[in-house]
Amino acid sequence: MNKVEQSTTGENKKSLNFIEAIVEKDLKEGRNGGRVQTRFPPEPNGYLHIGHAKAICIDFELAEKYNGVCNLRFDDTNPVKEDVEFVESIKDNIHWLGFEWGEIYHASDYFPQLWDFAVKLIKEGKAYIDEQSAEEIAKQKGTHTTPGVHSPYRDRPIEESLKLFEKMNSGDLPEGAMVLRAKIDMAASNMHFRDPIIYRIIHTPHHQTGTKWKAYPMYDFAHGQCDYFEGVTHSICTLEFEVHRPLYDWFIDQLADSDYRPRQYEFNRLNLTYTMMSKRRLLQLVEGGLVSGWDDPRMPTLAGLKRRGYTPTAIRSFIDRIGYTKYDGMIDLALLEHSIRQDLNAKAARVSAVLDPIKLIITNYPEDKTEMMSSINNPEDESMGSRDVAFTKELYIERDDFMEDAPKKYFRMTPGRETRLRSAYIVKCTGCKKDDDGNVVEVYAEYDPETRSGLPGSARRVKGTIHWVSVPHSVDAEVRLYDRLFTVEDPANEKDKELAEMINPDSLKILNNCKLESYLGDAKPGDNFQFTRLGYFNVDIESTDDKLVFNRTVPLRDSWSKKN
């Protein structure tokens, strides 16, 4: 958590996270000429997830805070898995979170420079073409306690490697025929220095460069060099890249012709309980039909969270709360849910919706009368005003707000007891009607005209208050209730379980017969509301004028932690 400190001037000042502290130290020491430049470098091989939001926030917020620039760079070095669909969704997501990049770059923009650099390394005797298979190369890697074995091609003539490197890019060779390796140290304690592969052959056309290239640089050979070409000062990534950092620096030392160096810093990746954070695994969910798509509201993708009703404000305040550290850990999904409740509590209008309706008839209320009851839109925000809600003889209430034989402490509808209908009257339940199978089909009550909300007589108090919707004024809707997608806390760690086995069968429940107050008839996709007593809901993108569809973003309270 970010701490709030009292500064000497008495104003509240948030303490710096460790990356901000590094940047401030660099600025103080005049490093990089006082320049701060970051980049967000997604591989366009899937939709961004909430983990990426953590990287986006630090990259863009650092640039904003220190008058620098953050560029967007598509790390597109593997055409097999990449696609323009992903490029577009990534751009949308960043804008949605409220950030603006300086320039858009692609690793593929630098393919010519990377090629020239590889040629330079070959000429200096620092790279060679290896004709062994990937398996053979892997076998020779050695272990943490034993050195690797030299490839039989390691000392081949420079001229030969130069010719073969050209050939790798000609299209005449099948994939896997040969690779280019950096010639560093097969006994290095850091395994990444044991003659890493830096180029491989791929025949799949590239979404940016088409069929121009057949030899593609590996991530480690592209990333740091791209940072260098662009002038990045602080290259921020997740902790798993810490062990790659010496190689990152090694390549740049071979390339640099001045004192300028981009520097890599690593922070803890976001892991959330009951969620999975890998584009590869999320793709499996999509392709396996286990979810309806990348924007399924149960997905941890930004597209899914947006569709579910999450706001950029909630996501950014969540990221701010969890902070940046040097230690990996697991964050409770409940914390993300807390953030969206907090934001929507401040912003969402309170409305009435009955998800599992049963009719309530106020037997002593005039047949053709309609009263307009004033209802405050949001007690947290006076400026949101109030609206009139129609009250009539026939209302819908929730089926479970009636109980024929109720225990003593049940303060909702049960024969002989009084309950308040929210923003309206106190009513006394008088009974119910059942069908031949014994199911309750209608509930009856009498109202007390002296108890209208807001009038002097309304001072009389009863224990329970329930919500309702006027039958003639109601609109129909489908409401989709979501729950956590997986039944296990850390699905990525369940190595022997199939994804399908871990899916929570109750993660989606569709209610088809919901009755909403007429105010919601005009709601548009994306609008957020609090359904009184039920939770926060938003209008789904599949909603039309003919058929309203709502998503439950989150219930009002965290029921899971209590249940389990």
Any idea which residues carry the catalytic annotation? 43, 269, 279
Q: Which does 54 bind (CB under 5 to 8 A by kind): Mg ion, ligand ATP, none?
A: ligand ATP
Cα angle: 429, vertex 431, 435; to 5 degrees: 140
Please tell me whether residue 395 binds ligand ATP under the rule CB under 6 A.
no
Position 356 contacts Mg ion (CB under 5 A): no
Cβ(481)–Cβ(540) below 8 Å: no
CA dist 232 → 102, 263, 445 (Å):
12, 8, 71
Q: Report the distance separating Cα 59 and Cα 38, nearest Å.
A: 6
User: Residue 502: enclosing H or E segment and its boundaries?
Assistant: helix 499-502
Question: What whole-number distance in Å separates Cα of residue 464 and Cα of residue 423?
Answer: 13
How is residue 303 written in tokens? 């597209």
**54 near ligand ATP, rule: CB under 6 A:** yes
Beta-strand relationship, 465-466 and 418-421 = parallel
Q: Which is nearer to Mg ion, 55 or 314 (CB)?
A: 55
- Least distance in angstroms from the C-beta of 239 to Mg ion: 14
Site for ligand ATP (CB under 6 A): which residue of 35, 91, 261, 269?
269
- Please identify which residue in 42, 148, 297, 535 interacts with ligand ATP, judged by CB under 6 A: 42
Q: How far is the CB of 186 from ligand ATP (least distance, A)?
A: 28
**CA–CA separation, 518 vs 540, rounded Å?**
18
Q: Among 35-43, 90-98, 443-451, 480-488, which window interacts with Mg ion (CB under 5 A)?
A: 35-43
Given the complex with ligand ATP, which of 54 and 473 has the nearer CB atom? 54
Q: Which residue is nearest to ligand ATP (CB)?
A: 51
Q: Write the DSSP string, 236-290.
A: EEEGGGGGGHHHHHHHHHHH-SSS---EEEEEPPP-BTT----HHHHHHHHHTTS
Q: Select from 194, 279, 298, 347 the one that contacts ligand ATP (CB under 6 A).
A: 279
55 near ligand ATP, rule: CB under 6 A: yes
For the bound state, the minimum distance from the C-beta of residue 276 to ligand ATP, rounded and expressed in Å, comes to: 9
Using rule CB under 6 A, residue 106 touches ligand ATP:
no
Query: Strand, coil or helix: what is 469?
Result: strand
Which of 335/346 has CB closer to ligand ATP? 335
Q: Would you count residue 39 as binding ligand ATP (CB under 6 A)? A: no
From candidates 20, 43, 64, 489, binder to ligand ATP by CB under 6 A: 43
H or E element that contains 162: helix 158-168
Residue with structure tokens 């863009």?
60
Range in contact with ligand ATP (rule: CB under 6 A) among 13-21, 131-139, 269-277, 553-561: 269-277
CA distance 312 to 315: 5
Q: Which does 41 bind (CB under 5 to 8 A by kind): ligand ATP, Mg ion, none?
A: ligand ATP
Q: Is 238 in the site for ligand ATP (CB under 6 A)?
A: yes
- Tell me phi and psi for residue 164, to 5 degrees: -70, -30
Is residue 194 a contact point for ligand ATP (CB under 6 A)?
Answer: no
491 scored as a contact of ligand ATP (CB under 6 A): no
Q: Say which residue the tokens 């053709």 belong to.
A: 368
Strand partners, 48: none
Nearest to 424 by CA among 472, 457, 398: 457
Helix, strand, coil percentages for the chain (3-state, nearest 5): 30, 25, 40
According to CB under 5 A, which one of 20, 43, 446, 478 is a site residue for Mg ion? 43
Examine residue 476 and tell whether it contacts ligand ATP (CB under 6 A): no
Per-residue binder mask for ligand ATP (CB under 6 A), 70-99, x = binder: -----x------------------------
- Site stretch for ligand ATP (CB under 6 A), options 40-48, 132-140, 191-199, 347-355: 40-48
Number of residues counted as binding Mg ion (CB under 5 A): 1
**Of the listed pieces 270-278, 318-326, 458-466, 524-532, which binds ligand ATP according to CB under 6 A?**
270-278
Is the separation of the CB atoms in 315 and 97 below 8 Å? yes
CB atoms < 10 A from the CB of 313, how many?
17
Give the interface with ligand ATP as residue ranges (CB under 6 A). 41-43, 51-52, 54-55, 75, 237-238, 269-270, 277-280
